Amino acid sequence: MDTSGLQKGATYPEIKARVLEQTGLKISSLYISQVKQKCGLEVRENHHKATSENTKQPQCPKEKEDAIVEALKHFQMI
């Protein structure tokens, strides 16, 4: 089986579990996708697409962003 096209790293549930275990913080998939975008990682379109053009998305707080970055480093994604 050719796995060269598969994304390496952790799934969103794995990242959420790591952050919860390490910091006690609950994070959303939206926050993970925002941090992944900042780090230049590939994000699927449906993870960060607003339901309408005028909808404002909440921005990831610095504390949670730092926790997500640490999880991405743990999973060797960055």
Tens digits of residue pLDDT in 23-69: 999 999 999 999 999 999 988 776 556 666 667 889 999 999 999 99
Chain CA centroid to CA 5, Å? 20
Q: How far apart are CA 4 and CA 36, in angstroms?
A: 20
Q: What long-range pairs does 45-54 form, CB within 8 A, spacing at least 24? A: none
Q: pTM for the complete prediction?
A: 0.79
Mark 45-75 as b/e (b = at least 16 C-beta within 10 Å). Answer: eeeeeeeeeeeeeeebeeebbebbbebbeee
